[in-house]
Amino acid sequence: MNNELDFRTGLADTLPTVFGYIGIGLAFGIVSYAAGIPAIGALLMALITYSGAAQFVIVSMLTAHSPYISIVLSVFMLSARMILTSMTVARYFKNESMVRNIWLGTLLTDETFALSMSKLNYTQQQLSYPWLNAANIFAYSAWAAASLGGNLLGNLISNPEKFGLDYALVAMFIGLLYLQIIGDKGIKLSLQLSVVLLVLVLTYVGMIFIPSSLLVLVVTLIACFVGMGVQHHAKL
């Protein structure tokens, strides 16, 4: 990763994360095939819903014949954290039009958000529309293609976990976290690791008391406030 913010660099910076999209996208496609969803349905779900966790929830709830309103509410709660990530990124695009901001926010994912936060460490806290647009489009295309491919290959792969596809998303986030930690020189490593440990503890404890659909949002809010405090302390 370097300090360039053009479209081509956006594609290059996103390339390492694409393998995670492909792995989890294939897994989703296979699961959707097993649930009786045709290839066109898997593709449309990837293009319209565009959320790995939400798509798995939709498939499982459809299989269980859950009411549509329950599916919609579950997906909303599961994806509510994207409101926070979009607001965080939006402040770097104050000079862009509303249309461009809506477009970037529509295709923003956890991965491209994390990639953006890491990129800030190399660009003097700057982001550009061409760079993030390239990252979003590359990730979006890879996800849609993998979801479709997984569905088409569903009759050939009965157990995606056997190939480690279920771990692809976790591995990708570990890589993004590592890049963020080593790239941010403004905060001591010990403080960053303390926040990471806090998130792990909160998630573990929260699984006992908080519904899974709300857990990510609650932990994210708490971690954000703690992170802001840590960053403020580091600047003192």
Encode pLDDT of 1-25 as tens digits: 788 999 999 999 999 888 888 888 8
Decide if 173 is inside a domain. yes
Decide if 65 is inside a domain. yes
Decide if 170 is inside a domain. yes
Report the distance separating Cα 23 and Cα 25, nearest Å.
Answer: 5
Decide if 192 is inside a domain. yes
Collapsing DSSP to helix, strand or coil, 124 comes out as: coil
In this predicted model, what pLDDT tens digit does every residue of 90-121 receive, in sequence order? 999 999 999 999 999 999 998 899 899 889 98
Question: Is there a single domain that holds both residue 175 and residue 197?
Answer: no
pLDDT of residue 94: 92
Q: Distance between alpha carbon 16 and the CA centroid of its chain, in Å?
A: 14
Question: Is there a single domain that holds both residue 148 and residue 201?
Answer: no
Decide if 108 is inside a domain. yes
Question: CA of 27: how far to CAs of 1, 142, 167, 175, in Å?
Answer: 29, 13, 10, 20
Question: Is there a single domain that holds both residue 226 and residue 137?
Answer: no
Question: Is there a single domain that holds both residue 180 and residue 194?
Answer: no
Question: Is there a single domain that holds both residue 95 and residue 201?
Answer: no
pLDDT of residue 168: 56
Report the distance separating Cα 66 and Cα 76, nearest Å.
Answer: 15
Question: Is there a single domain that holds both residue 24 and residue 91?
Answer: yes
Question: Is there a single domain that holds both residue 167 and residue 215?
Answer: no
For residues 119 and 12, the answer to whether their CB atoms sit within 8 Å is: no
User: Global pTM?
Assistant: 0.72
Q: Distance between alpha carbon 83 and the CA centroid of its chain, in Å?
A: 12
Decide if 1 is inside a domain. no
Instruction: Kindly give the residue spans of alpha helices, DSSP state H, lying in the chain.
Output: 7-34, 39-48, 52-63, 68-79, 81-90, 98-107, 110-119, 129-152, 168-183, 189-209, 212-235
* Token couple for 14: 């996103």
> Mean pLDDT over all residues of the chain?
83
Q: Quick one: which of 85, 62, 84 has its CA closest to 72?
A: 62
Task: Give the model's confidence band at 41: pLDDT under 50 very low, under 70 low, under 90 confident, else very high.
Answer: very high
Domain membership of residue 210 as a residue range: 186-236
Decide if 2 is inside a domain. no
For residues 165 and 27, the answer to whether their CB atoms sit within 8 Å is: yes
Structural domains of the chain, count: 2
Report the distance separating Cα 127 and Cα 116, nearest Å.
Answer: 8
Task: Give the model's confidence band at 128: pLDDT under 50 very low, under 70 low, under 90 confident, else very high.
Answer: very high
Decide if 233 is inside a domain. yes
